[in-house]
């Protein structure tokens, strides 16, 4: 069973992703902020992290960098509603921080290959 941490401030997206991930047989934990996500990361040591780049408290790229400092092997997917690197400089920072995939919202659940 894959342990998955999802960090996003959109409760409806969290609920949708949690349902899909659990239905696929994975363990999932949810965080509504960067601080909460980092705390949960330390507690559960997930195999996969999905992290929104625009969080209410911390920059998503900073969250990703912090997680990457703890683990070089955890798979990290960044999520964003922005479609352009010029609009969201955090997208480039996240890619440099070591994400495996950048998901542009809305994305299909088929794009989540754990």
Distances (CA, A) of 70 to 41, 63, 65, 92: 10, 11, 9, 21
**CATH code that applies to domain 3-109:** 3.40.50.2300
Separation CA 40–CA 44 (nearest Å):
6
List, for residues 87-113, the tens digit of each pLDDT value. Answer: 455 566 666 677 888 888 888 888 887
pLDDT of residue 46: 97
pLDDT of residue 106: 86
- Specify burial of residue 91 (Cβ count, 10 A radius: 0-12, 13-18, 19+): buried
| In the chain, where the domains are located | 3-109
List, for residues 3-44, the tens digit of each pLDDT value. Answer: 999 999 999 999 999 999 999 999 999 999 999 999 999 999
Q: What is the mean predicted confidence (pLDDT) over 67-95? A: 76
For residue 60, pLDDT over 80 is answered with yes
pLDDT of residue 96: 67
Distances (CA, A) of 45 to 27, 40, 63, 84, 112: 12, 8, 14, 31, 19
At 2, list the tokens: 């894959």
- By the 8 A CB rule, do 106 and 40 touch? no
pLDDT of residue 87: 45
pTM for this model (two decimals): 0.89
């Amino acid at each position: 069973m894959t342990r998955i941490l999802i960090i996003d401030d959109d409760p409806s997206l969290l609920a949708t992703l949690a349902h899909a991930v659990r239905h696929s047989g994975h363990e999932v934990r949810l965080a509504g902020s960067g601080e909460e996500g980092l705390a949960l990361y330390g507690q559960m040591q997930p195999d996969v992290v999905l992290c929104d780049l625009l969080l209410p408290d911390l920059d998503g790229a900073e969250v990703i960098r912090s997680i990457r400092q703890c683990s070089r092997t955890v798979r990290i997917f960044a999520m964003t509603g922005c479609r352009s690197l010029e609009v969201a400089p955090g997208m480039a920072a996240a890619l440099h921080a070591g994400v495996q995939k950048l998901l542009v919202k809305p994305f299909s659940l088929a794009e989540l290959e754990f």
